Structures are given as C-alpha cells and as structure tokens.
Amino acid sequence: MPMLTENLSRQATERGDAVALVDGAQRHSYADLHGAAAAVAAQLGAKGVRVGDRVALLLDNGFDYVAALYGCLACGAVAVPLNTAARAGDLGGWIAHADARAVVLAPGHPAAGELLATARGDGRLILMTSGADVVEGSRLCTDARTAYGALARPASADAPAMILYTSGTTGRPKGVVLTHRNLAANVAAIVDYLALGPTDRMVTVLPFFYSFGNSVLHTHLAVGAMLVLEPNLVYPQKVLETLVRERATGFAGVPSTFALLLSRARLADYDLSALRYVQQAGGGMPPALIERTLQALPASCSFFVMYGQTEATARISYLPPEHLRAKPGSVGIPLRGVEIEVRREDRSRCAALEVGTIFVRGEGVMAGYWNDPGLTASVLAGGWLNTGDSGYVDADGYLYIAGRRSDIIKTGAHRVQPQDVEAVIAEIEGVEEAAVVPVDDDILGEVVKAVVVLRPGAVVTDLEIKARCRARLAAYKIPKRVEFASSLPRTSTGKVQRHLLARP
C-alpha cells in the first residue's frame, strides 16, 4: 500500500506540470509542491528535527501548509496541525502536550507574538515561519529549485504520522495519533468509492487541521487531482463563482456549508454542470436539507453522505448515492477494509434495527491518544474503536446514527467541549457557576448557549461574558446566547442535567 509521501512523489513524476493547488492567484504544480515538501524535509533535518519528533503547524490552508505537512511526513517527523482559530492558551497547551520539537507558524497569526515569545524563551523549540524571517534563519524553506529525489517512504508504516487534537486543553487534551498506515488505508478506500482521478478539480472550504479537510487534501493529491482553496464561506457567491470558473468536479462540506449556500444564493444561476460528486460529512444532515441540496444541484451530480470520526482517520461509512432516497437518514455502508458492529452494554452484538453503541475496526483506526494510555484504553480494545455514538444497522446492513453520548456541541464544522467554555466563564468575577449546552440552529445545526449563575449581589452582563470568551476562546466557542439562572438543575448525585438546559 503506497504511503502519502509516495503518492505525492508518483504524481510529481507522472504529471509534474499538472496543477496540484490553486491558492488565491497562485497555481502550484505537483513538481513545485513535491520540491517544496522535499525542501522542508531537508530544512527540518538540518535544524535538528529527528524521526518521531513532533512538529506543530499553525498555518491556514495554503501551499505552505501542504509543503510543511508533507515535509514532516518525508523526514519521519510527526505533524501536529493546530486549529488556527484557537487562541494562544489552547495553542500553547497543545504544543506543550505534544512536546513539540518545532513549530511552523504564520507571523500574521493573532497568537504569533505570544507563541514567538514563548518559543524564544524555551530555547529548545525550533521556530519556523512562513513567508518571512522572524528570527534569523526561521523562514520556512519551500524553494524547490534544488533537485530532490522522491520523498522517503516512512521507515515503519505503523509509526505516528500526525496528531490531530480534537478538544481544548481545559480538561484532558485528546491528541488522536494517526499512523502512516492509517492515513494510507483511509485515503485508498475513499479514492475507491468516490472514483477520484487526475481530471478531478475539487473546491474546498474545509480547514485541513480537521480530519474531514485532511482527508479531502490527501485523497485528491493521491490521484493527481487539482485542489482549489477557498478561505471561508463568508461570501457564498465567491465560492460559487470559483466552482464555475474552475469547472469544479467536486465539492465537500458539512451540513451548515450547504445551508449557508442555499440560504444566500440561487444555485440555479450558476453553471455547475461539471460537478460530478459532492461529499457531506461532519454530522447528521437533515433529510429535508439534503433534498433541497439535491434539487439545487445538477441531476448528474452524485451526493455522498458519509460518516466518520477523527479517531478512525476520517471516514467510516458512506451512503452510495443511488440509495440516497431509498435510505433517508442512513450514513450507509462501511468503507472497504472497515468493519462496523453495533453492540449492547454487555458487548454482545445487537440485532438488526436494535440501537446500541457503534464500534469500528480496520486499518484506519488510530493508534491511540497521544501520551494518554488510560484514555486510549477507554475507547480501544482488541483493535475495536468505541465511537461513543449510538446507532443501528438495518436488515440490509445500512448504518443509522441515533445519537451521541458525549456532551460535545457540533456547531458548523466545529466541535466544542462545553467544559472549555464553562472554565472561562467561571473565571469571571461574580460568576458562581455556568453550564454550556447546545441549542438547535437552522444554519449551524447547533450553537453554544451558556446558562450562568451569579453570586448574590453580583452584576455581570451577557456582553462581559461574551467579551471574556472572545478574549480567551476561538470565535466559534463564544456563546451565541447567554441566560442567567438562580441555580443549575442537578441529579441527586449532583451532576448538572444539561438536557434540561438545552431547550431553545
């Protein structure tokens, strides 16, 4: 099975002049990208990064991000892409938790100043900056003029390749360790069912630091396709114009991506006739929204509903498009090489249509959580991953998700751990306690609501609470709504009954 670095080397050899990435006005060929990745690998080695060292990446989607990531993989380092929307507290926490040897960052990032100061004080952390020398010799080298050979195959396919953090650092940081084999296997299976090829042109708004965006990146580079980067969906018309201009064959989004596109634009006004496949993952998409999306897309376009988890690299199952209307609400069948079991509390297998916990096995299942054997053991046993999701399989073997057991709030493409927000609110003078819960939202699926209990006599406004959250947390974690209560509902054992607060 070819590893990711071998995929890129092959494409650079077979179609070096083909466009790999469109990043704003820049069009980068496979030869350029491959050369840049090799240059980064050489630079990392020269700076003292060794096999197994962690290299944190704080870069938005772009050529430098991809070059840095493949450079890490090629020199045996473990890439740790960080959420660029996060604030300095979480970023510093992840860098410390991963015990990163190096950090590659964009000097313009809002947290760059703080991180640069920390890195300088640390003395051990190697600093690399994209675009400019911030300290002497720090500029990320993506100069492909030097002739490099093929990117190295990792010494061991089972060595860690990436760590993806799926939660903040308030509680217990969860760094999902993905091996080279995990990534290669998941990529190969996705390429297979989407029938991706070198003539595909994918427009993506998904950040590469999340597993969905990460899989979109690697699957398209693996086949020599073209990836067109759009920074966000603030102006949906811009994204649609790009789809038209590039004659895009592919598009990917979470449910809110489609809700936003449909709410602000008439898709029928745009020539999307080249679109061959649209992928949806990142949470359940209401069948009515799927139907509206189908109506707006060309009839020749296949719509893939998919289910996955970072802990399974990305993808676990997909619904073959021809069954979309026959199996509404289903997330489909397992990918090639993936087994799914729905189990009862006693671990015995559920019957068809019986709701239980979803377990997954296959080459995409992570090696574990970084530096946390206890947490790893709580979800991994005998090669099986406990997804924490509940669901059932119908008589034809199609999987349906019935709910999630965790308190995680899914807002747009993001996941919010309530404790991260509660901890920040609890620090405010005058706050007794706070509970953070999801409330339904037409566009984002869910948004964050905070219910706050103040100390007697204290005066704290919702504006002050939001302002504090904005200073300390990524924007998507800021509560859209703040309510005040005299107390929080609790069970007899003292646990907050979040479900009672999660009403609109």
- Minimum distance from residue 152 beta carbon to other proteins (Å): 38
CA distance 359 to 272: 38
For other proteins, which residue of 139, 292, 466, 498 counts as binding (CB under 8 A)? 466
| Binding span for other proteins by CB under 8 A among 50-58, 280-288, 378-386, 474-482 | 474-482
Angle between helices 88-97 and 112-122 (to 10 degrees): 40
Within 160-189, the residues that bind other proteins by CB under 8 A are none
Site for other proteins (CB under 8 A): how many residues? 26
| Binding span for other proteins by CB under 8 A among 63-71, 227-235, 285-293, 362-370 | 227-235
For other proteins, which residue of 232, 273, 300, 497 counts as binding (CB under 8 A)? 232
Query: Which residues of 337-379 form beta strands (DSSP E)?
Result: 338-343, 356-362, 368-369
What is the gyration radius of the CA atoms in the chain, in angstroms? 23
Q: Which two tokens stand for residue 103?
A: 């950090």
| Binding span for other proteins by CB under 8 A among 194-202, 215-223, 234-242, 290-298 | 234-242
Nearer to other proteins, 13 or 232 (CB): 232
Is 144 exposed, middle or buried (CB count within 10 Å of its CB: 0-12, 13-18, 19+)?
A: buried
For other proteins, which residue of 124, 146, 235, 383 counts as binding (CB under 8 A)? 235
Within 88-127, the residues that bind other proteins by CB under 8 A are 110
Within 265-294, the residues that bind other proteins by CB under 8 A are 265-266
Polymer length of the chain:
504
Q: Going residue by residue from 404 to 433, which x/- string records binding to other proteins, judged by CB under 8 A?
A: --------x---------------------
Nearer to other proteins, 122 or 464 (CB): 464
- Minimum distance from residue 257 beta carbon to other proteins (Å): 9
For other proteins, which residue of 234, 288, 395, 459 counts as binding (CB under 8 A)? 234
Nearer to other proteins, 235 or 383 (CB): 235
- For residue 286, the Cα-to-chain-centroid distance in whole angstroms is 21
Closest of 50, 52, 59, 53 to residue 36, by C-alpha: 59
Angle between helices 63-74 and 30-46 (to 10 degrees): 60
For other proteins, which residue of 124, 245, 247, 264 counts as binding (CB under 8 A)? 264
Q: Which two tokens stand for residue 488?
A: 């929080």
b/e code 1-36 from CB counts within 10 Å (16+ = b): eebbbbbbbbbbeeeeebbbbbbeeeebbbbbbbbb
Q: Which two tokens stand for residue 99?
A: 């015990």
- Minimum distance from residue 450 beta carbon to other proteins (Å): 13
Is 173 exposed, middle or buried (CB count within 10 Å of its CB: 0-12, 13-18, 19+)?
A: buried
Q: Does 137 bind other proteins (CB under 8 A)?
A: no
Nearer to other proteins, 83 or 387 (CB): 83
Contact 107, 133 (CB under 8 A): no
Q: Which helix (H) or strand (E) holds 41?
A: helix 30-46
Which residues are near other proteins by CB under 8 A? 85, 110, 232-238, 256, 260, 263-266, 412, 443-444, 463-464, 466-467, 470, 475-476, 478
